[in-house]
Amino acid sequence: AAGAWSEEAVDHFLRSQRIRARDGAAIRWFHAANSKARAGEAARSDVHMVEADVLVRGGKGGHGDPIMAHPPETDSDNTLQEWLEEIVNTNKGIKLDFKRYLKTNVFYIVCVLSN
């Protein structure tokens, strides 16, 4: 199927006229958008891509919800579900770094409902 899911990010932003040349260096990033405040700032910004980190609440050996945090942090005011609900309504691409504290045999399915 055609659309953003089937093309490179640089091609998507070029086609949508958000960059002027097929140059990955033209793509602007917002890094470490983990907290609710940082995610909100990223959502309101003029960047193309938002990067954030996902781990399990409680850190190594934790059995909690997937949250938005970067080690050594083990807690956050923002869950993966909340983060996706904030960012999904923007025109930005996302890059999620799944940290080592997520067990490889556990797969989280997150449903995001948007209008």
pLDDT in tens, 23-32: 999 999 999 9
Can you give the pLDDT at residue 9? 87
Query: 0.75 cut: is pTM over it?
Result: yes
Q: Residue 64 has which token pair?
A: 């909690």
What confidence tier does 20 reach under pLDDT thresholds 50, 70, 90? very high
The answer to whether residue 110 scores a pLDDT higher than 80 is no
What contacts 69, CB < 8 A, 6 or more positions away?
34, 53, 55, 75, 76
Residue at token pair 């997937």: 66
Structure confidence by residue, pLDDT tens digits, 52-71: 999 888 766 666 789 999 98
Compare 76 and 56 and report the one with higher pLDDT.
76
Cα–Cα distances (Å) from 37 to 34, 41, 42, 102, in that order, read 8, 6, 9, 24
